[in-house]
Amino acid sequence: MRVTTFAEEVYAVVRAVPPGRVTTYGTIARLLGRVRGARQVGWAMRHSADDVPAQRVVGAGGHLSGGWAFGHPSVQRTLLEDEGVAFVGPERCDLDAHGWPDADEAAAWETEQAAGQP
DNA sequence: GCCTTGACGGCAA
DNA sequence: GTTGCCGCCAAGG
């Protein structure tokens, strides 16, 4: 189905992020083939649906770029900590330990996408 | 059809 | 370590 817009694809990726893990805008963009489309990912997240765990999407280095979208960055931080995500600073999560996808998971994701969308 | 906006990323000063 | 600027793609007005 190519009717899906860029935003829809972004949502699909975000929903694929398991609890206790976090991903970045740049990573999502890269998974979609838009290496420099991190901005569009952010644009899409701004229109995020309710079933999209936007709290798992952070900026480069695990920085809570869109924390204010939850009312206050501390809200997003609390949500992630509740899922088991460790934080290095007040607004920075530990991407090294909870970053998604992992090298192995990235391959699985690409395989799944290749199989579903030839 | 053109211009502006936007939850970003990376590099330079 | 911080702050600022440019580049990029997509959608809205």
Strand C within 7 Å of which CB atoms in A 7-26?
7
Residue A40, Cα to own-chain centre: how many angstroms?
13
List, for residues A13-70, the tens digit of each pLDDT value. 999 999 999 999 999 999 988 988 999 999 999 988 888 999 999 999 999 998 988 9
- Token pair 């949502």: residue: A11
- Which regions of chain A does DSSP assign to beta strands (E)? 23-24, 57-58, 87-89, 92-93
Q: Which residue has the tokens 């206050």?
A: A72
pTM here is 0.91
Nucleotides of B under 7 A from a protein CB: 5-10
Beta-carbon count within 10 A of A57 CB: 27
Nearest nt by C1' to A44 Cα: B7
> Is any atom of nucleic acid chain C found less than 7 Å from the CB of residue A6?
yes
Instruction: For A60-116, write each residue's pLDDT tens digit.
Output: 999 999 898 898 999 999 999 999 999 999 999 999 999 999 989 999 998 888 787
Name the DSSP letter for residue A98.
H
**Nearest by Cα to A89 from A106, A69, A67, A112:** A67
From the CB of residue A30, how many other CB atoms can be counted at a distance below 10 Å?
Answer: 16
User: Token pair of A47, please?
Assistant: 């229109």
Closest nucleotide to A36, Cα to C1':
C8
CA neighbor of A20 nearest in space, from A113, A86, A66, A109? A86
- Of all nucleotides, the one whose C1′ comes closest to residue A61's CA is B9
